[in-house]
Amino acid sequence: MPFPNDATYNKESVIQLADAIMANWKTDASEVPDLDVGQLFATIKLICEHVSSIEKYTEVDKDMQALLAVATATSWFSKEQTEKLDEWLEEVASPDEPEDWLPSFPEEETRQAVLKGLGAHTAVVTIDKAGKSIDIGYEGGSYGQGKHDGSVRITEGHLRIYDSRYPGKHLVSHDDLPSNPADLKWCMQSTNWDYGWDEEEEKG
């Protein structure tokens, strides 16, 4: 199998490169057809530099992990190159910690955002640090469909309104997720919402 020395950081290229190495990884470099160790190392280096430049690397790339693991297991590279491969392998296996967005929503400011955004009479904020979510139960609020009791739920991926008049159904915001209470108030007053069903969330 030829070595794709023009490989870049994409799933297909990384897998092709890993397959090419894996087919010969126990063979001495001098006996592997078309192997240019310097070029191979340079290709892997460019790919790893691309991964390092990713602003939010929050999930381990298993294909990259496999590529680097098989590369460092060969006897083809110099001591310095092998140490660098090991370093890259450790980096690829260590994703960035997800940003903790909960502190950006102080309890009182968040409560006021829902009171003002929905014109609610009361609001109670519950912050779930373990589950990374915020629930704001309110009474007498309205998003334009009449006064009602309900709750607002903020997670890392969604902003939803649950209207107690419609069990099993919720509103999903299609605006950018709020990053602070001021954004939350703005979203509450936006018209960019659509309906979703709770069973869809459970299936997903």
pLDDT tens profile 11-24: 999 999 999 999 99
Give yes or no for a contact between 178 and 159, defined as CB atoms under 8 angstroms apart.
yes
Residues 19-78 pLDDT 10s = 999 999 999 999 999 999 999 999 999 999 998 888 777 788 999 999 999 999 999 999
Residue 192 confidence (pLDDT) above 90: yes
Its pTM surpasses 0.85: no
Residue 177 and residue 175: Cα distance in Å, rounded? 6
Q: Comparing 2 with 65, which gets the higher pLDDT?
A: 65
If you search the block for the tokens 């190495």, which residue do you land on?
A: 21
Alpha helices in 135-177 (DSSP H): none
Query: Cα torsion for 64, 10, 8, 98, to the nearest 10°?
Result: -60
